[in-house]
Structure 1
Amino acid sequence: MYVDGLHEKGIFKDGFPFRLEVNALDNFDYPVHWHAVIEILYLEKNSLNINVNNKESKLDEGDILFIAGGDTHGFSNRNNSGKRIFIQFDSSSLSTFGNNSIIKSLISGSFKISLKDTPFHGSIKEHILSIVESYSKRDFGFEFFISARIHDIFAIISKFLADKVNFQNTPDTARKIQGMDKLSEAFKYIEANYMNDISLSDVAKAVGFSESYFSRMFKDITEKNFILYLNEYRIKQAEHFLIDSSMSIADIAYTVGFNSIVTFNRAFKSIKGCSPSGYKKIGL
């Protein structure tokens, strides 16, 4: 697992679209990132600071956070012991779910379930701990058991949302689901072509949207404009060259898609807080 630009990749192993991590680090920081898969965070012990879609908040002990695919998020936990359970899964690949569009509708935006949300919280917590136990043992057929428990969690979530917000499969929800699918295509296009002189118009055309609609959708879902995302991705690629190659800064700038060294230096300093040459010295 690694973060490329802001995109977390390499999440799953062994062909099973599921990942579980129990984290008890005293100093736990993880940079802001996004991924297409759904994530469940159960804060079993103590508190945790979190940033979701550029909004800072604090999770309290017992809180369960559902993070929608495509929502940016990062964690900060300094000088504070704790225990956190992270579950990530690809709903489209877990065949026991059935209708994947229903799952995407339910988790079209990140939300929290706290201890006061009875009886939903207790039931979900029970299934999460059951998943942790099954995954630790990995008995024969544990994949089916885990898929079934996640299915149970979504059954509870559907009741929770209906009870709390009178959930309906609205046109806005459908548009966001379609937007996430198209945004995934856009990210793939950027990753394959970032080194070229690509524009918002090029990416919009590649995913089949008008430039104006794609621009609005991109900012609505990622909460940043296309140029900022593209520059952040290019700078992330430049970091690798600055540390692991003997290329000149000018060559690196052109290699990652900038059309001038001045533009590259300005973007690098804005995103990283230092010049490319300064970053290179830090890495050496």
Structure 2
Amino acid sequence: MADNTMASYAYPRYAYPRYAYPAAYYAVALDYFQMEAHRHDQWEIMYLVTGTCRVEVEGVLVEMEERQFICIRPGIPHRLEINQGERSVLLNYEFSCLDKMGGTDLNSLAEKDAGFAELMVSPEPYLLLTDYGKMEYVLKDLISELERRDRNSYLLDLIFQRMLIEWSRCIQDNEGVTGMVHLKKARKYIREHFREDIRVEDVAKYVSLNHSYLQTLFSKAYGCGIMEYINNQRLERAQFLLKNSSMNIVDIAFEAGFNSRQHFGYTFQKKYCLSPKQYRKLKGQNIAADTGKWQKSLRENGEAAGANRLI
């Protein structure tokens, strides 16, 4: 049960019951949200696909960027906030650790994966990690399978174990990948200037790196080059305007940083297999900032049920 308070909580952080069970999940896009402070008995993983958000954990405000996720231990007070106009897409998954047999055997997994074993005994109340691997895709697979009426418990267990392994790998990657300071600075520059006619050399000059080396860092961290990353930022801005404004397509193209409607149309169609006009017709809608409409909790019999709380 959730407890809406940010006070300290005497929950054991080092030893957990052996078996893990899915508890709640959601995938949602929000333009604004202010969550009440709360705590609960589940592990929580909150993944920011696009946009920006902040999570307050034990009184510490944690700024999150795209492709980052925060892992919050059971019993830790926390809350989510998204400012007005900061459209953000989030994936959320929670799991309980119980003594009841039948869930995923965490002890067995810890014996096979040293990284996961270290993760489970870490004293940190939360972990903020950047996804250099496949955490996003595994979470999407997990949520997708939970949404199925005919979901397979064996497949769910396999996907969940893979998610835990990807999680532990992300910890190693965050410790081992070099150039993170430069990448963070480069991303900040791109966010502030993607509407302008910027080049790879401009970004490299700003972070004081050779442009070839910076390209290598981007490729390793994000699986794409700098210009593709810039265009993705432009396309995300265009997506938002197509869905949430009455601006005409030419104005949207220039507002998003494209130098012509033709270039915008070609790039958009190549990425999404829809023209901007088709996308607006299909996707144009407003989404209320209430994750309770998306979140599904799991009853003891494994059936999904709408939750009247956001935890």
TM-score by length of 1: 0.51
Indicate if the aligned counterparts of 2:132 and 2:170 stay in contact, CA closer than 8 A: no
Aligned twin of 1:35? 68
CA distance in 2, matches of 1:201, 1:37: 33
Structure number having the greater helix percentage: 1
Whether the 8 Å contact between 1:234 and 1:257 is mirrored in structure 2 is yes
Matches within 5 A, 1:1-284: 6-7=49-50, 9-13=52-56, 15-17=59-61, 34-35=67-68, 62=106, 68-71=129-132, 73-74=135-136, 75-76=140-141, 77-78=144-145, 79=148, 80=151, 107-109=171-173, 173=176, 176-177=177-178, 179-284=179-284
Highest RCO, 1 vs 2 (Cα 8 Å, sep ≥ 6): 2
Q: CA deviation at 1:13?
A: 2.8
Corresponding letter in the other structure for 1:34: R
**Over aligned residues, Cα RMSD in angstroms?**
4.1
What is the SS of the residue equivalent to 2:60? Answer: coil
Identity rate of aligned residues, in percent?
A: 25
Q: Which moved more, 1:217-226 or 1:74-83?
A: 74-83
Q: How much does 1:247 deviate?
A: 1.3
Structure 2 residue matching 1:233: 3-state secondary structure = helix
Q: 1:16 deviation in Å?
A: 2.1
Distance 1:251 1:222 in 2: 29
Q: Which amino acid aligns with 1:107?
A: I
Q: What CA distance in whole angstroms lies between the structure 1 residues aligned with 2:243 and 2:276?
A: 10
Secondary structure in 1 matching 2:68: coil
Deviation sequence 1:200-240 (CA, Å, 0-9, x none): 11111111101111111111111111122111111111112
* Residues in 2 aligned to 1:187 and 1:209: alpha-carbon distance in whole angstroms: 14
Secondary structure at the counterpart of residue 232 of structure 1: helix
Q: 2:8 is matched with which residue? A: none
Aligned residue pairs, count: 176
Identify if the C-alpha distance between structure 1 residues 278 and 230 changes in structure 2 by more than 3 Å, giving closer, same or farther.
same
Q: CA offsets per residue over residues 30-71 of structure 1, 9 Å max, x none? A: xxx6127678988669xxxxxxxxxxxxxx764686794242
- Contiguous gaps of at least 5 residues in structure 2: 1-27, 32-47, 74-92, 98-103, 111-115, 120-127, 285-311
1:95 alignment counterpart:
none
Letter in 2 for 1:71: Y
Distance 1:231 1:11, change over 3 A: same
Give the 3 Å change call, closer, same or farther, for CA 18–240 of structure 1 in structure 2. closer
Equivalent position amino acid for 1:183 in 2: L
Q: Distance in 1 between matches of 2:224 and 2:30?
A: 18
C-alpha separation between the residues in 1 aligned to 2:192 and 2:260? 21
Alpha-carbon offset, residue 17 of structure 1: 4.7
User: Structure 1 counterpart of 2:130, which letter?
Assistant: G
Counterpart residue number, 1:96: none
Structure 1: state its 5+ residue gaps: 20-32, 46-59, 88-104, 111-168
